[in-house]
Chain A
Amino acid sequence: MSLLSVQNLSVQFHDSYAGGETVRDISFNVEPGEIVGIVGESGSGKSTAMQAIMGLLPKRAEVKCQKLILSQEDITPPFSADGKSAVKEEKLYEKKMESIRGRQISMIFQEPLSYLNPTVKIGRQITEVIHAHDKACTRGGARQRAKELLDMVGIRRPAERMRQYSFELSGGMRQRVATAIALACEPRLLIADEPTTALDVTVQGQILQLIKRISKETGTAVLFVSHDLGVIASVCSRVIVMHNGKIVEEGVTDDIFREPRHMYTKELIEKASHLQKLPHSMVSRNPLFVAEHVTKQYPGRINREQTEAVNNVSFYINKGEIYGLVGESGCGKTTLAGMAAGVYQPTKGNILFKGVPLLKMNRQIQMVFQDVQSSLNPKMTIEDILEEPLQLNTKLSSEGRRKKVIETLNLVGLSPKDTEKYPQAFSGGQRQRIAIARALILEPELMICDEPVSSLDISTQEQILELLEQVQIEKQISCLFISHDLNVVKRISQRLGVMYEGVFVESGNTRSIYEDPWHPYTKTLLSAILPPNPKMAKRKRRMWKVKESGGKKLLGEGCPFAPRCGYAMECCYAQSPKTYTFGERKIACFLYSEEYTGKRNDDYKMTSQI
């Protein structure tokens, strides 16, 4: 007997903004205790289907379902053909769902910060849920249960944490708390809607393990919604692939990944595996852009404490090379990008572009941004957007400008017919193409891409990366490519730098770093990559154990990674490591220093120490 059985569920929006069916006639079952993955691009109707099951959709959505059974209980939403369902039925359904939500099915959302109430302490938020569903529970009992729950989701010192607010916790902790709330009433089904998408890779791995462990311990079935095949491959036993609101394929994870039958699944898996490939490296040493000991400090508001966003960073970019920059959110990548673009000036150190100090913005350096929604002016047509740089910087006639605009649009794979449209008329991937076209139209020598693909779907991601690669080869543009996703960076860059808390911990040839990471942090990052292949996922069951960053930063003294590092020695806390150079590879870690390892002499060939 399956736990959840969905038969012919359709959702339609009657709305001027979004017409048509978003979910079309889907049926599936979930057995008790299993983890089922639902994978598909954004807009494929995954989340809508989940919300329809929970009965959380707004009134303007028309939910049509033949049968929806949750552990032998009928929770089919009411539907009448004329579009207006009877008020009485609706009320009854709503009442029934109130008792089912939380107790039988509960949900974890993508962004825990917006899900948790910032004005209520964590402990209260959990006990509230317990009280809501179990009126007989005493205060002390609820508190005891909340402690147990927090302990179960892997939060140490739960009593202490219960007195904190959600903004005092890190992203991973918040997601743990959200999970604890979801589990408060021992639901039989947990719907996890992209629970790890907003988290850093290292934290993602921990949350996935947590969900897996909980499912095993408590026998809770999990419906795991994600767009990321790697995530799905590492946790789910069965997969449902959705495309355009329909289920195109369903089956055991191993089978789906080994022999996908449907074209769309094949495409998805191929694209995801493509990201795993390494680029051919071709390094010509001819630095176009050099950063020397660059530091950026922001004056702090309270107590005038200075925070260092970027600390003593040196690197160079050769002509015609893509240089990758990886790091977690908040490590100073974007600040560094801003300095490279000349938007801000470094507090200390020099930035040289073509051998000349970069003191203000240079037309030869252009930028592509992360957020496709805000990187194009919504009040300008595509033609205006692309024409403006030419108007300002060249003496081309309007005919010449138009020709150039069309030429550039063709280069990025857009049709010249689109010039009259506004950015709203385009999808995320297309907008990013327009943004790339804007950056390219002045024929810059250096393009800075700040997370250009992280707000895009996996298949669009691949297309944009291909485009960047093709453009870079065609035009011989150098590129500083910034991402939090090691997969993406390693796919496209020839050399890369790994950043942690404003410091370059390791840099060198992409291939050699990927094949043999030296710094403990790089190793952690690499081990957090989830291959879209269930076999590989099983093989590397154990992820590198790292603690989450506690939010408290040791300023000045010590290696920034030391509190999270498994190899931390005494010296790591006392002073910050210098950067040691071994050929192409540069590394900031005491494991590779002469004085602390004593292994090093002139002809010693350094290898990974971990």
Chain B
Amino acid sequence: MKAMFRKNPLLTAGLIILILVILLAVLVPVFSPYSYQAQDVDRQNLSSSVSHIFGTDKFGRDIFVRVWYGTRISLLVGLGSTAICGLFGILYGSAAGYAGGKTDLILMRLADIIDAIPSLLYVILITLALGANVGSILLGICISGWIDLARIVRGEVMRLKTREYCIAARMTGATAGRILRRYILPNGAGPVIVNITFMVPKAIFTEAFLSFVGAGISAPAASLGTLIQDARSQMLVYPAQILYPILILCILLLSMNLIGAGVEAGENQSEARMFISFSQGKGYRG
């Protein structure tokens, strides 16, 4: 474990930052004396102090609590949508890739049709229909978020299913599900995992963007995007109010992208190692 951290500083740094952010997001709203929605007319637009670390906004709400509360929602959207999209994408891609032929054609064209409509449109329509809350944003992101992953999984499955160990497994009577589970997916996991790790920051960013343009989480609930939007009106007077949520959003995205880059680098490294071991045990083929 230690060796892995030393070898992959990107992944290590990303994980440490992410764990810190998660801890803060979970603990701050629980232990803080302030609520994210309680307004206090006497304490409007305070600057940073010991009692209000990030100061207060124009309604006198504590920005520190609101920022970490918003981070919770961002994390929920990011991780939740990735989990759903990841699962669905892998299943869909495996089915299309393994079945091949007509099934593959129909499944993938269906995915193309869903993908043809911009994903933002889905989110906006769903928030309009179902109300602006976390659930509808999750649903909106998940409608088309799995498609890229499904394409990658399909490619990997198609590449690996003709490998000789898969044929050997079929000859001993292994079922399609077993071959996928034990032979194809473990070997094709590299690019899939890399893709999944990059889905998290993408979803977080989408949610923040939607909230910023006003199609996301509605008041008094806060996400990082709504916080930035709220502070925008007095940006010139109280720049700190917009700075803090942006900073946290940046840190969150940075950690996610570091993890993604770390996983990708690790993947390439192990591939390089494999390549070297191949070229050493050089095979002569006639």
Contacts and interface: CB of A to CB of B under 8 A. Distances in A.
Q: Are A and B a genuine interacting pair, yes or no?
A: yes
A389 B165 CA distance: 12
A371 B174 contact: no
B174 A375 contact: no
B278 A373 contact: yes
Interface in A112-131: none
A379 interface: yes
B254 interface: no
B236 interface: no
A424 B285 CA distance: 19
Contact of B284 (A17, A227, A442): A227
Given A42-B284, A194-B284, A376 B165 contact: yes
B171 A361 contact: yes
Given A194-B284, A389-B173, A377 B277 contact: no
A455 B285 contact: yes
Interface stretch (A138-146, A246-254, A303-311, A362-370): A362-370
B173 A393 contact: yes
B106 interface: no
Interface in B1-60: none
B286 A451 contact: yes
Q: Would you call the interface of chain A mostly helix, strand, loop, or mixed?
A: loop
Given A366-B172, A393-B173, A454-B286, A375 B164 contact: yes
Contacts of B170: 343, 361
A341 interface: yes
Nearest to A367: B171
A18 interface: yes
A485 B282 contact: no
B109 interface: no
A380 B286 contact: no
A592 B210 CA distance: 83
Contact of B286 (A367, A371, A374, A485): A485
B174 A392 contact: yes
A17 B276 contact: yes
28 contacts: A17-B276, A17-B277, A18-B276, A18-B280, A42-B281, A42-B282, A197-B285, A198-B285, A227-B284, A343-B170, A361-B170, A365-B171, A366-B172, A367-B167, A371-B283, A373-B283, A375-B168, A376-B165, A377-B169, A377-B182, A377-B186, A378-B274, A389-B172, A427-B281, A439-B168, A455-B284, A456-B283, A485-B286
Given A17-B277, A375-B164, A375-B165, 12 more contacts: A18-B276, A361-B173, A367-B171, A369-B168, A374-B164, A376-B165, A379-B183, A388-B169, A428-B283, A451-B286, A454-B285, A456-B284
Interface of B: 163-165, 167-174, 182-183, 186-187, 273-274, 276-278, 280-286
8 closest A-B pairs by beta carbon, nearest first, are: A389-B172, A455-B283, A379-B186, A375-B164, A369-B164, A377-B165, A17-B276, A392-B173
